[in-house]
Amino acid sequence: MIEDKRWKGVYSFEDSPFIMEILTELRNKDTGPIAFRKGLVKLGRYMGYEITKTMETERIRIKTPLEETEGIVIKDRRNVVIITVLRAAIPLMEGLIKVLDHARVGIVSASRGKAPKFEIEMKYVKVPQIKPEDTVIIADPMIATGSTLVKVLEEVKKYGKAKRYVIVGVLAAPEGIKKIKEAFPEAEIFIAKIDRELNDHGYILPGLGDAGDRAFGLPI
């Protein structure tokens, strides 16, 4: 896990050969929807493990069948809300929840309009009440313009103030990260890789195409 020098609290996994191998398969246009979904699940699980390294822990005493010893409890893992941005984040959330199995889950349906305005339409929002001790994790595979996630964060904050706000994704463009950090400096971003740029249609380059379409078998 590498912290990007351009922004505070933005981390990528370009130092992980395992993650880069999964990302290579996701990028490949010949990867079918089943393998694509499985790749997103793998990434979600791995990133969930990495996020637990940043969580608050507590040392406790326990008894084994032979003697007493010391262990730990990850306190923050008991207080997680995962917000799933439909559609593409469903497999990513599945991986996250394998590690963060105490999580409450919210659903947001948000779609981005066409260039140049990229207006965001939110059709469905179902978010649990957020408590001060919660870590809110927003799962969205592609951080392109950043407009969707800014809108989602604005909506999520209506349900209470959390301890942390964490965005988990597969690929990001610098333009999208910049927009999110300007609107919400406190937001942390965990991303497999930060790509080069956006094209005129708001797609990440070199990217992997539309993650939702590829995950659910629609034409590329």
In a domain, 114, yes or no: yes
In a domain, 113, yes or no: yes
How many Å apart are CA 191 and CA 1, to the nearest integer? 9
**Could you identify the residue written with the tokens 């301890």?**
163
Q: Read off the pTM.
A: 0.90
Domain containing 133: what range?
2-215
In a domain, 220, yes or no: no
In a domain, 49, yes or no: yes
pLDDT tens digits in sequence order for the chain, 220 residues long = 999 999 999 999 999 999 999 999 999 999 999 999 999 999 999 999 999 999 999 999 999 999 999 999 999 999 999 999 988 899 999 999 999 999 999 999 877 666 666 677 788 899 999 999 999 999 999 999 998 999 999 999 999 999 999 999 999 999 999 999 999 999 999 999 999 999 988 889 999 988 888 888 765 5
Number of domains composing the chain: 1
* CATH number of the domain enclosing 50: 3.40.50.2020
Compute CA 143 distance to the chain's CA centroid, rounded to the nearest angstrom.
9
3-class secondary structure, 132: coil
